Amino acid sequence: MILADREIMQALEDGRIKISPAPNLAEQLGSCSIDFRLGHTFMVFEHSHFSYIDPLHPQSIGEAMRTIEVKDGEAFIMQAGDFALASTIESLELPDDLLGRLEGRSSIARLGITVHSTAAVFEPGWIGTATMELSNLGRMAVALYPGMRICSFTFEQLTSSVLTPYRKKVNNKYAGQVNPRASGLSEEMSERKGE
Protein backbone atom coordinates (compact mmCIF):
# COMPACT_ATOMS: atom_id res chain seq x y z
CA MET A 1 0.00 0.00 0.00
CA ILE A 2 1.36 3.41 -1.00
CA LEU A 3 0.69 6.19 1.49
CA ALA A 4 -1.60 9.02 0.37
CA ASP A 5 -0.97 12.67 1.30
CA ARG A 6 -3.11 12.49 4.46
CA GLU A 7 -1.22 9.36 5.60
CA ILE A 8 2.15 10.99 4.93
CA MET A 9 1.10 14.02 7.00
CA GLN A 10 -0.08 11.72 9.82
CA ALA A 11 3.17 9.72 9.72
CA LEU A 12 5.15 12.99 9.93
CA GLU A 13 2.99 14.23 12.81
CA ASP A 14 3.35 10.91 14.66
CA GLY A 15 7.13 10.87 14.07
CA ARG A 16 7.00 7.59 12.13
CA ILE A 17 8.58 9.35 9.15
CA LYS A 18 11.16 11.94 10.15
CA ILE A 19 12.35 14.58 7.69
CA SER A 20 14.88 17.21 8.70
CA PRO A 21 14.72 20.11 8.11
CA ALA A 22 10.93 19.92 8.26
CA PRO A 23 9.45 20.24 4.76
CA ASN A 24 7.16 23.04 3.67
CA LEU A 25 4.09 20.88 3.07
CA ALA A 26 2.30 23.59 1.07
CA GLU A 27 5.11 23.41 -1.51
CA GLN A 28 6.56 19.93 -1.12
CA LEU A 29 3.62 17.58 -0.43
CA GLY A 30 2.02 15.91 -3.43
CA SER A 31 -0.99 13.61 -3.60
CA CYS A 32 1.11 10.56 -2.64
CA SER A 33 4.68 11.88 -2.37
CA ILE A 34 6.85 14.53 -0.82
CA ASP A 35 9.49 16.50 -2.71
CA PHE A 36 13.08 16.72 -1.51
CA ARG A 37 15.50 19.49 -2.46
CA LEU A 38 18.92 19.37 -4.06
CA GLY A 39 21.87 19.80 -1.69
CA HIS A 40 25.12 21.70 -2.22
CA THR A 41 27.54 18.78 -2.60
CA PHE A 42 28.24 16.92 -5.85
CA MET A 43 30.72 14.18 -6.72
CA VAL A 44 31.94 13.74 -10.28
CA PHE A 45 34.25 11.25 -11.95
CA GLU A 46 37.60 12.61 -13.11
CA HIS A 47 37.43 10.67 -16.37
CA SER A 48 40.20 12.75 -17.90
CA HIS A 49 42.64 11.43 -15.26
CA PHE A 50 41.46 7.84 -14.85
CA SER A 51 40.72 5.42 -17.65
CA TYR A 52 38.59 2.96 -15.64
CA ILE A 53 37.24 2.05 -12.20
CA ASP A 54 38.21 -1.23 -10.55
CA PRO A 55 35.70 -2.26 -7.85
CA LEU A 56 38.31 -4.56 -6.27
CA HIS A 57 40.40 -1.53 -5.32
CA PRO A 58 38.66 1.09 -3.16
CA GLN A 59 41.23 3.75 -4.07
CA SER A 60 40.18 3.31 -7.70
CA ILE A 61 36.70 4.59 -6.86
CA GLY A 62 37.68 7.22 -4.30
CA GLU A 63 40.56 8.72 -6.28
CA ALA A 64 38.52 8.83 -9.46
CA MET A 65 35.94 11.15 -7.89
CA ARG A 66 36.13 14.83 -7.04
CA THR A 67 33.80 16.65 -4.64
CA ILE A 68 32.33 20.00 -5.65
CA GLU A 69 30.54 22.38 -3.28
CA VAL A 70 28.07 24.76 -4.95
CA LYS A 71 27.08 27.95 -3.14
CA ASP A 72 23.52 29.26 -2.85
CA GLY A 73 22.50 31.10 -6.00
CA GLU A 74 25.14 29.33 -8.10
CA ALA A 75 24.46 26.43 -10.45
CA PHE A 76 25.94 23.01 -10.99
CA ILE A 77 26.03 22.53 -14.76
CA MET A 78 25.20 19.03 -15.95
CA GLN A 79 26.65 18.64 -19.42
CA ALA A 80 24.96 16.30 -21.88
CA GLY A 81 25.93 12.71 -21.05
CA ASP A 82 27.33 13.67 -17.62
CA PHE A 83 26.92 11.66 -14.43
CA ALA A 84 27.21 13.00 -10.87
CA LEU A 85 26.33 11.96 -7.35
CA ALA A 86 24.41 14.51 -5.31
CA SER A 87 22.54 14.51 -2.04
CA THR A 88 19.30 15.96 -0.82
CA ILE A 89 19.11 18.79 1.70
CA GLU A 90 16.60 16.78 3.70
CA SER A 91 17.57 13.83 5.84
CA LEU A 92 15.07 10.97 6.05
CA GLU A 93 14.46 8.48 8.82
CA LEU A 94 12.09 5.57 8.19
CA PRO A 95 10.43 3.21 10.67
CA ASP A 96 10.94 -0.54 10.49
CA ASP A 97 7.67 -1.15 8.59
CA LEU A 98 7.84 1.46 5.80
CA LEU A 99 10.05 1.66 2.74
CA GLY A 100 10.76 4.83 0.81
CA ARG A 101 11.02 5.03 -2.95
CA LEU A 102 12.96 7.88 -4.56
CA GLU A 103 11.35 9.05 -7.78
CA GLY A 104 12.17 11.69 -10.36
CA ARG A 105 10.05 14.78 -10.79
CA SER A 106 8.39 15.19 -14.18
CA SER A 107 9.55 18.81 -14.52
CA ILE A 108 13.20 17.73 -14.07
CA ALA A 109 12.83 14.66 -16.30
CA ARG A 110 11.49 16.84 -19.13
CA LEU A 111 14.88 18.58 -19.14
CA GLY A 112 16.62 15.22 -19.64
CA ILE A 113 17.74 14.80 -16.01
CA THR A 114 17.28 11.46 -14.25
CA VAL A 115 17.80 11.27 -10.49
CA HIS A 116 18.61 7.60 -10.07
CA SER A 117 20.14 4.89 -12.20
CA THR A 118 18.63 1.93 -10.36
CA ALA A 119 18.90 2.74 -6.64
CA ALA A 120 15.35 3.89 -5.89
CA VAL A 121 14.48 1.83 -2.79
CA PHE A 122 15.28 3.08 0.71
CA GLU A 123 14.85 0.13 3.03
CA PRO A 124 12.87 0.18 6.28
CA GLY A 125 15.08 1.59 9.01
CA TRP A 126 16.92 3.94 6.62
CA ILE A 127 18.47 7.06 8.15
CA GLY A 128 20.41 9.79 6.34
CA THR A 129 20.29 11.96 3.27
CA ALA A 130 19.52 10.41 -0.10
CA THR A 131 22.35 10.11 -2.61
CA MET A 132 21.03 10.54 -6.14
CA GLU A 133 22.73 9.25 -9.28
CA LEU A 134 22.13 12.24 -11.57
CA SER A 135 22.44 11.82 -15.32
CA ASN A 136 21.81 14.21 -18.18
CA LEU A 137 20.26 12.13 -20.94
CA GLY A 138 19.56 15.18 -23.10
CA ARG A 139 21.68 16.92 -25.70
CA MET A 140 21.94 20.26 -23.89
CA ALA A 141 23.60 21.22 -20.61
CA VAL A 142 21.20 21.85 -17.71
CA ALA A 143 21.78 24.17 -14.72
CA LEU A 144 20.83 22.62 -11.38
CA TYR A 145 20.54 24.86 -8.32
CA PRO A 146 20.92 23.86 -4.66
CA GLY A 147 17.55 24.18 -2.97
CA MET A 148 15.48 23.32 -6.04
CA ARG A 149 12.96 20.49 -5.71
CA ILE A 150 14.83 17.67 -7.45
CA CYS A 151 13.11 14.39 -6.50
CA SER A 152 10.18 13.01 -4.57
CA PHE A 153 9.69 10.17 -2.11
CA THR A 154 6.74 7.83 -1.96
CA PHE A 155 6.24 5.51 1.00
CA GLU A 156 4.97 1.92 1.05
CA GLN A 157 3.56 0.10 4.06
CA LEU A 158 5.04 -3.37 4.64
CA THR A 159 2.90 -6.22 5.94
CA SER A 160 5.05 -6.30 9.09
CA SER A 161 8.18 -4.79 10.59
CA VAL A 162 11.42 -6.14 9.15
CA LEU A 163 13.64 -8.38 11.28
CA THR A 164 16.72 -6.24 10.61
CA PRO A 165 16.22 -2.54 9.79
CA TYR A 166 18.79 -1.09 7.38
CA ARG A 167 20.50 1.08 10.01
CA LYS A 168 21.15 -2.06 12.12
CA LYS A 169 22.53 -4.26 9.32
CA VAL A 170 26.08 -5.30 10.13
CA ASN A 171 27.43 -4.45 6.69
CA ASN A 172 25.26 -1.48 5.72
CA LYS A 173 27.36 0.95 3.71
CA TYR A 174 25.32 4.13 3.59
CA ALA A 175 23.23 4.56 6.77
CA GLY A 176 23.71 7.94 8.39
CA GLN A 177 25.30 9.58 5.35
CA VAL A 178 25.14 13.37 5.24
CA ASN A 179 26.78 14.00 1.86
CA PRO A 180 26.86 11.89 -1.30
CA ARG A 181 29.10 8.88 -0.87
CA ALA A 182 30.95 7.05 -3.62
CA SER A 183 30.08 3.42 -4.30
CA GLY A 184 30.84 0.98 -1.50
CA LEU A 185 31.09 -1.91 -3.95
CA SER A 186 34.78 -2.41 -3.20
CA GLU A 187 33.92 -3.11 0.47
CA GLU A 188 31.52 -5.82 -0.68
CA MET A 189 34.12 -7.30 -3.05
CA SER A 190 36.85 -7.35 -0.38
CA GLU A 191 34.47 -9.05 2.10
CA ARG A 192 33.91 -11.82 -0.45
CA LYS A 193 37.65 -12.22 -1.03
CA GLY A 194 38.11 -12.68 2.74
CA GLU A 195 35.53 -15.48 2.95
27 labelled catalytic: no
Q: Is the peptide bond before 146 cis (omega within 30 degrees of 0)?
A: no
Q: What span, in angstroms and rounded, lies between the C-alpha atoms of 142 and 2?
A: 32
Give burial (CB, 10 Å; 0-12/13-18/19+) of 111: middle
Assess contact for 188 and 56: CB atoms under 8 A.
Answer: no
Non-local (6+) Cβ contacts of 53 within 8 A are 45, 60, 61, 64
Of 63, 90, 123, 133, which residue is the catalytic one? Answer: 133
Which of the residues are catalytic? 133
